[in-house]
Amino acid sequence: MLKLLIYIQLKSKAYKQISNSNTLYLFTIFINVKIHLFYWISLGIVMCLPVTLEGQQEVTFSQYMFNHQSLNPAYAGSKDYTHFAIIQRTQWSNFPGAPESQAFTFNNKMSQKKFGFGLAGVNDKIGPMSSSRVALDLAYHLPIKDAFLAIGIKAGISNFDFDESIIQTTTPDDMSFTFDEGGKFTPNIGFGIYYHRPRWYAGFSIPWFIENESLTIQKHYYGIVGGLVRITDDFQAKPSMLVKHTKGSAFGYDLSVLLLYRELFWIGPQTRSSFNQDVPGTKFGGGFGMIAGVHLGKSISVGYSYNTSSLGKLINVNHATHEFMLRFDLIPVAKSMLRSPRIF
C-alpha cells in the first residue's frame, strides 16, 4: 500500500479515538494538507475502502472481449492476421484526480503458423499515483482438430511513481507524503492458456507472478469465456464473461451480452459484480453499463462503453465511466476467408 493511503487511513482511525477536548488540535494535524486538496483525500479514502474490505484489484477494461491479450498472453497469434488495439478509460467525470487508464496490444502470427508474439502495455493513474507496465508476449498454438490450445508466457517490467509535487502541505518536507520506491523498474513474468474454436473461446491467465507489497503488486487470476450464437441470418448474440480474483478479494465477474448485426455493429448491456452479491454494490465497486461499436470497413473497429460505479456514490460525484476502443486488423488482401470471426 502506498504511503499516502496508509497515512490517510491511520489518521482516520486516530481521529475516531480522540476526545472532544482534543478534537480541534488533532483535526488540524489530520488535514495538514491545504483545503483545496480535499478531493485527493476523498479519493484516497474511497480507494482504501475496497482495498481494506476486498483486496487490491487491478484495472479491468469493460471491452476486454475485444482485447483478450491485455489479460492473457496466450491470445497472441490466435488470428491469421496482425492485430493492434488501444483503449482509453476515464472514470468519475470532472472529479480531480479520478482514475484514468490506457492500454495497448499488438500481436502477430509467425510464418510457422503455430507461434504468435506480441506487445502489451497498461498505464494507470489515480491522483498522485501512477503505474505503467509493458510486456512481451509469446504463445504456442497446438492444433486440436478444428480448434487450438495455446500456451503463452509474458515477460515485462513495471514502473510505479508518486508525484509529490501535486501535494502541497503546510509542513515543509512532510515525510508522510514521500514514496521511496517511485521511478524504479521491476521485472515480472506471467502465463496464460487459451482454447479457441471458430465461434467460441475460453482461457485462464496469471499476468504477473511476482508480488511486491511495497508496490501493491498482487497475483491476479483471470478466467474468460465467450462466443457467438446465431439467432438469424442477420443477428448473432455475443455473450462473454470475465472472472477475476486476488488474495483478500471476493471472486468478481464482468458479464455482457452483445447483439451483433451482420458482423457490422454491436450493442448490449454489461454488469460488474462479485459472486457473493446478488446485484452490484459498494463493497465490491460493481455497476452497470452499455457497450456499442462498429466495424469501419475491413480493418478498423471502433467501440465505446458507458458504465456507472457504485463507489462514486460514496463521495457524491459523477460516477460515470467512459471507455473508447480503436482496433486495427491488418488483413492481407490475399485472405478472402478468415478462420475465425474478427470480433473476438
Q: What is the pLDDT of residue 9?
A: 38
Q: What is the pLDDT of residue 317?
A: 58
pLDDT at 254 over 80: yes
By C-alpha distance, which of 150, 145, 140 is closest to 194?
A: 150
Q: Are 119 and 135 in contact (CB under 8 A)?
A: yes
Q: Give the tens place of pLDDT for each residue, 83-138.
A: 999 999 998 777 777 889 999 999 998 876 789 999 999 999 988 888 899 999 99
Whole-number Å distance between alpha carbons of 281 and 276: 10
Range with lowest mean pLDDT among 164-178, 198-212, 231-245: 164-178
Give the confidence band of 277 by pLDDT, cuts at 50, 70, 90: confident
DSSP state of 52: H
Mean pLDDT of 157-172: 76
Q: What is the pLDDT of residue 151?
A: 97
Domain range summary for the chain, segments of one domain joined by +: 57-330
Give the confidence band of 162 by pLDDT, cuts at 50, 70, 90: confident
State the CATH architecture for 57-330: Beta Barrel (2.40)
Q: Are 222 and 207 in contact (CB under 8 A)?
A: yes
Kindly write down the DSSP assignment for every residue of 211-255, as one continuous string: -BTTTTB--EEEEEEEE-EE-SSSEEEEEEEEEEEETTSPPEEEE
SS3 of 177-188: the string is: HCCCCCCCEEEE
